[in-house]
Structure 1
């Protein structure tokens, strides 16, 4: 029988559910959960191209990526098997992905691996991560990588990277004109030639 004057029982909150002091604490807890060796809460596995398996949570994938959200909402092999084989994403790039999904951590991304990270983020439509990678690629542009990054920017519609790369190409046109990567790209996509010609002085 309901007793209106009775004090409610005190509910003890387990330490794992204690109030989060700030957003940073929350993100740290998510990373601890991700890296726990006994991660019984994970309900999905990502497998990198080099065979490494990463236990993850469907919610995190779907919350950040429309591609994963669609995958996990339809009757496809990945949903049935609770596993997705990332055939073109290596271990390092999967780690970059998970650092971002769980804690918005981009510390692993640098001028060396940003191209792979951007390709992965673009494929799975994680647009904020794409923008971060694009910024890193712009900051680390150099004569030796500008052609490759220009082509990537052209193919993926990265306007800012493309503009900055074109500017650097114009400044180093004598070297760029002999780049074999550029010559091969023009052969496969002739429309690039018109864009490149804009680099030459009138």
Structure 2
């Protein structure tokens, strides 16, 4: 049996294990695969019924901080119309060993099939006994900053301390500091270095962004963005980062958008990845659609997407489809 029979493919929060066949009485355990902070295993055991288990690999981390998982698991036929058996779903279940989650399936399965696991959230218990916190709510946008300086910068913005520039968004205005903007963006730096209207009038018009999104944009520049506002305004922040050439914000948006790709947002993210030249996000969306077979689950939306998408992007998708078919 080839090594590929035990390999689990992963992308973002999704894991898929393709199984060619199970004899009438057999057991198989996958290779470890990484989701979140833990290595995981899937196992299948077939006797009179089929047992599927999902559990973290035993380690010091698992013993000290076992994952509290929310996920959807289903079995898909890997051929034909991809009929699925779907588990009702697991919410906030602590998983320590291979007996904590067992899915018993009495429906006979034959031929090739796929075990598909989509992790909705992974939490760990708070060390002080408080509410468990999500590992995915931790720090994409706050990393690499000096706390004292960030507090001072945040106060300068929130309290309008010695502000000298006004930003006009689509539905309101916010005061800021040209020195801070200029050091964060070469576009802003150019505005204030030449005799342009922004320098003369001390205003910047950003009519394609709301006041809330503009506030999140400034909060990022000042090192004061909160995770919830970052997640809420990711696409607006991506547009602003591209427009004003703020590469670290653009990369933070790309990393974040990769982490929760699903059937509802994958086409929009693929379009944005192509528009803003985000190769890693584009590759992840392509793999999600083609290699993981989610293109079959969004047929109507995908057909509508084909009517308006860029031709080069459509060609890339079909090239990926053909390459995947050749691999089978």
Q: TM-score, normalised by structure 2?
A: 0.50
Question: Match for 1:31 among 154, 169, 174?
Answer: 154
Q: Select between 158-167 and 97-106 the one with higher mean Cα deviation.
A: 97-106
Determine the C-alpha separation between the residues in 1 that align with 2:161 and 2:312: 52
Among 185, 203, 206, the alignment partner of 1:65 is: 185
CA contact (8 A) 1:48 1:87 kept: yes
2:294 is matched with 172
- In the alignment, what sits opposite 1:41? 162
User: TM-score, normalised on structure 1?
Assistant: 0.80
Q: Which runs of 5+ in 2 are unaligned?
A: 1-144
Question: CA–CA distance in 2 between the matches of 1:105 and 1:40?
Answer: 18
CA-based RMSD:
1.8
Equivalence for 1:190: 311
- Whichever structure has more strand as a proportion of its residues is 2
Q: What is the number of equivalent residue pairs in this alignment? A: 175
Bigger drift between 166-175 and 141-150 goes to 166-175
Alignment of 1:79-90 (within 5 A): 79-90=199-210
Partner of 1:9: none
Q: Residues of 2 paired with 1:176 and 1:194: CA distance? A: 18
* 1:154-175, Cα deviation, whole Å (9 max, x unpaired): 1111011000000111121223
Higher helix share: 1
1:91 aligns with 2:211: yes
Structure 1 residues 25 and 134: alpha-carbon distance in aligned structure 2, compared to 1, 3 A threshold = same
* CA distance 1:24–1:181, change in 2 (3 Å): farther
| Alpha-carbon displacement from aligned partner over 1:17-68 (angstroms, at most 9, x marks no partner) | xxxxx931121011112111xx351110111111x21111110110000111
Aligned with 1:109: secondary structure? Answer: helix
Displacement of 1:176 in angstroms is: 4.1
- Does structure 1 retain, via aligned residues, the 8 Å contact 2:170–2:207? yes
